[in-house]
Amino acid sequence: MLTFALSKGRLANKILDMLRKMNLCDITIDDDDRRLVIEAGDYRFFLAKPSDVPTFVDLGVADLGVVGKDTILEENRDITQVLDLGFGKCRMCVCGKVEDGMSYKLKNNLRVATKYPHIAKAYFDSINQNTTIIKLNGSVELGPVVGMSDVIVDIVESGRTLKENGLEVKEVIHELSARLVANNASLKTKYDEISEIIKGFKELVKE
């Protein structure tokens, strides 16, 4: 049996729709469905919180997972990215006040508000800029607005929220999208089954 870890919602439904088109399984999940584990034929699905998907895959509880590139980077688990699925595209960016320009680059100890402390620290360490990382769980845009931080590191889609709060993108750190990830051991022990999934997904991504 091949096991997937998926986050419930649009992403899980997208993957199940792709598997349906590949004639591998026929499962639908509606909004009232409270099941956490679903089995169909040769496939089993764990419906998990997005940030837990890399953990399930890393520890071998799941052979495959589908999760955003941002979560992969933030969780930093020992898993293999096998395919960019091409949907859920957005960007991880450094953002700040419009009037501040690029002055944040001159800060000796840059204050950074973010939901993604690992990604933020890794980026600023890579350019040798000292930072104080401020972990927030809600609207990180408030950081610069109320003077708690100099900049933020966050996901940007349309940029509307930034604009309405006097902020703008300063730099793009990563291009993001949904990725198919695999357990390293499963890639060897279940190579044929996983290869079939990858081949089918690649064909659908091309459409």
Question: What is the tens place of the pLDDT at every residue in 188-198?
Answer: 999 999 999 99
Quick one: 101 and 77 in the same domain? no
Residue 31: is its pLDDT beyond 80?
no
The mean pLDDT value for 37-65 works out to 93
Quick one: 50 and 147 in the same domain? no
Quick one: 143 and 200 in the same domain? no
The mean pLDDT value for 4-18 works out to 87
- What confidence category does residue 51 fall into, taking pLDDT thresholds of 50, 70 and 90? very high
Quick one: 83 and 95 in the same domain? no
Quick one: 16 and 83 in the same domain? yes
Quick one: 45 and 110 in the same domain? no
Residue 3, H or E segment = strand 2-7
Quick one: 66 and 96 in the same domain? no
pLDDT of residue 36: 87
SS3 for 53-111 is HHHHHHCCCCCEEEEEHHHHHHHCCCCEEEEECCCCCEEEEEEEEHHHCCHHHHCCCEE
> 9: alpha, beta or left, given left = phi > 0 and alpha = psi -120 to 50?
left
Quick one: 94 and 52 in the same domain? no
Quick one: 9 and 40 in the same domain? yes
Quick one: 62 and 41 in the same domain? yes
pLDDT of residue 187: 96
Q: Tell me how far apart the alpha carbons of residues 159 and 14 are, in angstroms, rounded to a whole number.
A: 25
**Number of domains the chain is built from:** 2
Decide which of 116 and 1 is more confident.
116
Domain ranges, residue 66:
2-88+177-206
Tokens describing residue 154 = 């966050």
Quick one: 81 and 119 in the same domain? no
Residue 12: is its pLDDT beyond 90?
no
- What confidence category does residue 42 fall into, taking pLDDT thresholds of 50, 70 and 90? confident
Tokens describing residue 190 = 């279940």
**Which is it for strands 43-48 and 2-7: parallel, antiparallel or unpaired?**
parallel
Share of the chain above pLDDT 70, in %: 99
CATH label of the domain that carries residue 37: 3.40.190.10
Residue 23: is its pLDDT beyond 90?
no
pLDDT of residue 207: 66
- What confidence category does residue 11 fall into, taking pLDDT thresholds of 50, 70 and 90? confident
Quick one: 84 and 94 in the same domain? no
pLDDT of residue 167: 97
pTM confidence score? 0.89
Q: Tell me how far apart the alpha carbons of residues 8 and 50 are, in angstroms, rounded to a whole number.
A: 8
